[in-house]
Amino acid sequence: MISLGFGDSTTGGFAEALTYGADNGARISSNSWGYTAPDVYEQAVLDAIDYYDAAGGIVVFAAGNDNSASCYYPGCYGAVVGVAAVSDDGARASFSNYGDWIDISAPGVNVYSTITGDTYGHASGTSMACPHTAGVLAL
């Protein structure tokens, strides 16, 4: 396991971190972020995803929380596993993005997790569903 952050919050930082992971043996990349408008992307990000994929890795992305079927990158990019969220009853979470670009759904409502303030609490979102999927893929 390699923890790769890109603290500058730039997509160039993400591309660099993903490339570093591919070059250093990381096989699963769990990403609980995405662009906040449909059909927006940066080619450097897609190129880094393709590089990681070609190195034998799997890139997992949260689908987004806009209750939309629109394509939200990088989650809808063909080379990634796009993860939607489901609620406790297995139904699509009301906030989760959806559509034919979604690859899988995972628990994403009231998930007990680490939260800001160095503590634990319940959180909801496709960002909660994404690491569930990455963990299963890593098995």
| Least confident stretch, 7-11, 75-79, 103-107 | 7-11
Q: Using one digit for the tens of pLDDT, what is the confidence trace for 111-128?
A: 999 998 999 999 999 999
Q: What is the CA radius of gyration of the chain?
A: 14
pTM of the model: 0.92
| Highest CATH level, class, for 11-138 | alpha beta
Where residue 9 falls among pLDDT bands split at 50, 70, 90?
low
Domain ranges of the chain: 11-138
What are 14-62's pLDDT values in tens digits?
899 999 999 999 999 999 998 888 999 999 999 999 999 999 999 999 9
**What six digits make up the tokens of 130?**
């994404």
**What is residue 96's predicted lDDT score, i.e. its pLDDT?**
98
Residue 56 to residues 47, 52, 101, 128, 132: CA-CA distances in angstroms?
14, 7, 21, 25, 20
Residue 33 burial by Cβ neighbours in a 10 Å radius (0-12, 13-18, 19+) = middle
Give the separation between CA 116 and CA 128, rounded to whole angstroms: 14
